[in-house]
Every structure is written in structure tokens, then in C-alpha cells.
Amino acid sequence: MNERMRYIGVDISKRKYRAAFIDEDDKIVDEFSFRNDFVGISMFLSRLSMGDRVVMKSTGNLWVNLYDVLEERGFSVVLANPLKMKAIASAKIKNDKVDAWIPAYLLRGDLVAESYAPQRG
């Protein structure tokens, strides 16, 4: 059985992340919050499949831990330029839920303006 590709937008804040999963038909198939710590990131990883694509904004340095973990484990992860993403998807409604959906939809449409993530290690 072929797994359908999912696009996951992650909204980043200091203490928690918000993830929105959409499928190839642009339907939201899952969404939840998780803590910005080892336990929270482990829980997020347990809900991912290798075909999934993840996008997050390069907000301060809050993205680094999650980005590094995803990249180390071989996931397709895109680091979005927050200023360009805001210009593309200016929404009248502003909350963590919408902030997670928008990157997922833009990733699905191949509309993410990427930020540079330096190689580490």
C-alpha cells in the first residue's frame, strides 16, 4: 500500500510548536501542539513517515533544534524565510493554528521562499 505524501507546517514559538499535516488533496489530516523539548520532539517524530515533507520558518534560533533532528534522521525539511512567507500569505486571521497551516499549504504548492541553513558538524 502506497503512503500518501503529507506536508507538515510547523509554527515555532519559545515553549511549544504547532504542527498541521495536510495531504495531497489539501485536506488537514492532523494537527497538534508539542513542547519544544526532547519529549515533545520525540512525540512529533513518532507521528512522521519518511515520505513526509516538513516546513518551518527560520524564527530567531528557535528552529535549530527541530530542524537538526529532522535533517539528521533523513526527513525532507524546508526552512522558510519568514518575511517572504508573510508577504506571500498575509492572512487576516492570526493564530498558531493558521500559522501552522499556511506553511504546509505553501509547501504543497511549491511556493516556499527558503532561508539558508548552514551545515553543522
Q: pLDDT of 67-113, one tens digit each?
A: 999 999 999 999 887 776 655 555 544 555 556 677 776 777 776 66
User: Can you list the alpha helix ranges (DSSP code H) found in the chain?
Assistant: 38-46, 64-72, 82-88, 96-108
At 7 the pLDDT is 93
Residue 24 lies in a domain: yes
Q: Is residue 89 part of a domain?
A: yes
CATH number at residue 71: 3.30.420.40
HEC string of 13-39?
Answer: CCCEEEEEEECCCCCEEEEEEEECCHH
How many domains is the chain partitioned into structurally? 1
Residue 85 lies in a domain: yes
Domain of 33 in residue numbering reads as 7-108
Q: Please tell me the pTM assigned to this model.
A: 0.74
